[in-house]
Amino acid sequence: MGLGPEAAGEDDTGHHVRRRATLPHMRRLFPVTDETAARASGGAAGDDGAGAPGGSWVGEVRRGAGFPGDDLVDREWSLAELAAAYAYPEPGPGGRQPWLRANMVSTLDGAAQHDGRSQPISTATDMRIFGTLRALADVVLVGAETVRQEGYRPARARAEFAQAREAAGQGPAPAIAVVSAGLGLDFSLPLFTSPLVPTLILTGAAAAPDRVAAAEKAGTQVVIAGDGVGVDPVRAVQALAELGHTRLLTEGGPRMLGQLVAAGVLDELCLTISPMLTAGDAQRIAGGPSVPVPKRFELISLLEENGFLFSRYRRT
């Protein structure tokens, strides 16, 4: 897909990121089959000692070009490989259906933020995955509170993903869709006045007319996705799909993610486990009222670098 290293600078939330000169060096911990684990350790499938039952991680492996166990070693991952590892599902016979994934980070003790921001518990590789997930998405769904706390800016066009996005029928960058009931936002910010792709605001039908007018004057597209002042998550996903945005990504915050989970519209969770402890009273990745029955998700991939775990879970 013609993907190369990213340049140093600010991430799409406006935070300065010191990126490594090299690409991520990670190892894949899952999925690993018995056959892959055995071949990676130099044995044959079914050999005694070739791997733990169920294809668990094998610590001592060999590196080799095209070797089936290559992912088991700590190696450099290109942006093209990251894009392939996090690709959205292929369209079915009826066309592409909406697919909503969340990208969140959590410390070992469950904190989704430190001092109100996620950047302190993140890492350079986490930010590369963050950028890759954005580059694959049609739209980024985010809560108004997170926009204010994190200082969101418009999504940037990334030259290394331009060819892949064009081939996928996507614009140069994903749109940002802000979920807001009261529209208590500063519409003079670049997110609203100078995005590469017009910013969307999802709100309810009872939103204050003067705030709707202010949003539209700034150049945003206001989308009604609820009968009252709030936004119905199911209607939000449907409304975005009707606008052609079927590859959906949400970056929270915790309150909005909790609403998406409760509504049953979340298809996938990309969760970074940060090897840090923060204590305190920081929010978890999903807040709000508890669901009546816990939602079951299955692990579909797990990568590791320097103690950070990068997982993908898909609902069963």
Convert the pLDDT of each residue in 94-124 to its tens digit. 889 999 999 999 999 999 988 878 888 999 9
* pTM for the full predicted model: 0.81
- Which of residues 55, 76, 97 is at a domain's end? 76
Q: Which two tokens stand for residue 148?
A: 């204010």
The domain that holds 94 is classified in CATH as: 3.40.430.10
Closest CA to 180 of 207, 149, 154: 207
> Structurally, how many domains does the chain consist of?
2
Classify 254 in phi/psi space as left (phi over 0), alpha (psi -120 to 50) or beta: alpha
User: Does residue 40 surpass a pLDDT of 90?
Assistant: no
- Which of residues 25, 54, 76 is at a domain's end? 76
Convert the pLDDT of each residue in 212-258 to its tens digit. 999 999 999 999 999 998 999 999 999 999 999 999 999 988 999 99
Q: If you count them, how many residues does the chain have? A: 316
- Which of residues 59, 76, 93 is at a domain's end? 76
Strands (E), the chain: 9-10, 16-17, 25-30, 75-76, 99-107, 139-143, 175-179, 200-203, 221-224, 247-250, 268-274, 297-305, 308-315
Same domain (yes/no): 293, 246: yes
Same domain (yes/no): 170, 308: yes
Q: What is the mean pLDDT of residues 70-80?
A: 77
Domain range spanning residue 289?
77-315
Same domain (yes/no): 108, 54: no
Contact 100, 233 (CB under 8 A): no
Same domain (yes/no): 185, 70: no
